[in-house]
Amino acid sequence: MLHWERGTVTGTRSSWRGVDRLLVEIEGETLSAIAYPELTGTPAAGEQVLLNTNALRRDLGTGGDALVVARLDVTPQPEATTGHMVKARYTPMQTMVDAIDDPEGEHYETIRDARDVDGMPVVVADLHSSLPAIVAGIRAERHSARIAYVHTDGAALPAAYSRTAARLREAGLIASVISAGQSFGGDLEAVTVHSALLGAKHVVEADIAIVIQGPGNLGTGTGWGFSGMQAAECLHAAAALGGAPIAALRVSGADRRERHRGLSHHSSTAYGRATLTAVRLPVLDYTDPRYNAFHASVREQVESTIVEEGRARGIEHEVCGVDAKGLRDALEDVPVRLSTMGRTLAEDPEAFRYAALAGRCGASLLPAL
């Protein structure tokens, strides 16, 4: 059951494009709330609002805010749209968007006639926190690369919820955010990851694409019950469209949970057992001066839990040694806060280093300038 509460908007907090952060009072208690202008418009101080407080009241990790469902004093007028693609379908908050594959959209003929992505590198990861690190790795190898980010529907459906993507976009480090599947609110909308990748190549004219679920992944502690398992299907989409699929490895030197130390069991499952196409697996190169017993252990885990699992089914994954020279500086220069599972770059550098290695691996496949 949904947990509804009514409140009064009393003020605002720091916001970003596509997200209004509000202060709302409920019976003397002040809460933080989020409104998506695309869905409700922007509530003003003094307005009565209806809130969904399910996650907030249960103290869930992704539930730091109440969510505005409706403005009780105002009937917002929807923005005109020529599209008839529905996202968040058959939920009370379903919304109409102009999708790049909409027959009435301006990009329809381009997407309709597109057959592949012409070898474009596609870097796929399972955690949204990998996004800025992958961007850093790409930029360290090819500073001028044009990058598209495909926001999938495995976690947060509103692409605008990602403050990280918004800031990378504002800084010019990514050229476009494409919301795929049931997700919405990107610069461009796509019905599937496949059409999003075609849009990245032929509409955005990106050199390289990154595909990751949004913030707020769902995990259960089991091998298969993790929203990031969607990464396997994204790698399949990249391969089906003639791209170069690259699997960013989830690695940690600091996670207290044994299943996530070194190579995460989620990477082993998603890439070793669920991925049915050959992909590149970037690890630290043997010759890098940082290479030590930890990295040797990660490589052994990759070989035993991903490469050998794939080979048993006739799939030949490629382990790619990548130099980490300059990546720490690149990571420190990213204009967003690096944090994964509450750990910073200083606290868990390997988590971000391996994501950056994947970015550099993808950029190294680009044609020479």
Buried b (16+ CB within 10 A) or exposed e, 285-312: beebebbeeebeebbebbbebbbebbee
The predicted pLDDT at position 3 comes to 84
Q: Is 346 exposed, middle or buried (0-12, 13-18, 19+ CB in 10 A)?
A: exposed
C-alpha torsion 321→309→117→357, nearest 10: -30
Determine the 3-state secondary structure of 195 from DSSP: helix
Q: What percent of the chain stands above pLDDT 70?
A: 97
Name the pLDDT band for 212 (thresholds 50, 70, 90).
very high
Residue 318 backbone zone (phi > 0: left; psi -120 to 50: alpha; other: beta): beta
pLDDT of residue 258: 75
Q: What is the pTM of this model?
A: 0.95
Residue for token pair 């917002």: 76
pLDDT of residue 166: 96
Residue 63, pLDDT > 80, answer no
Helix ranges (H only) for 42-190 are 54-57, 108-113, 131-141, 163-170
pLDDT over 90, % of the chain? 81
Per-residue pLDDT at 61 exceeds 60: no
Q: What is the pLDDT of residues 248-306, one digit of tens each?
A: 999 998 878 877 788 999 999 999 999 999 999 999 999 999 999 999 999 999 999 99
DSSP 60-88: -TT-SSEEEEEESS--PPPPP----EEES
User: What single DSSP character describes residue 368?
Assistant: P
Distance, C-alpha 97 to centroid of its chain: 20
Q: What is the pLDDT of residues 136-190, one digit of tens each?
A: 999 999 999 999 999 999 999 999 999 999 999 999 999 999 999 999 999 999 9
Which residue from 75, 66, 64 is spatially nearest to 24, judged by alpha carbons? 66
Residue owning tokens 């869930």: 60
10 Å CB burial of residue 188 (0-12, 13-18, 19+) is: buried
Rounded distance, CA 8 to CA 73, Å?
10
Where do the domains of the chain lie, and which CATH numbers do they carry? 4-71 (2.40.50.220), 108-364 (3.40.50)
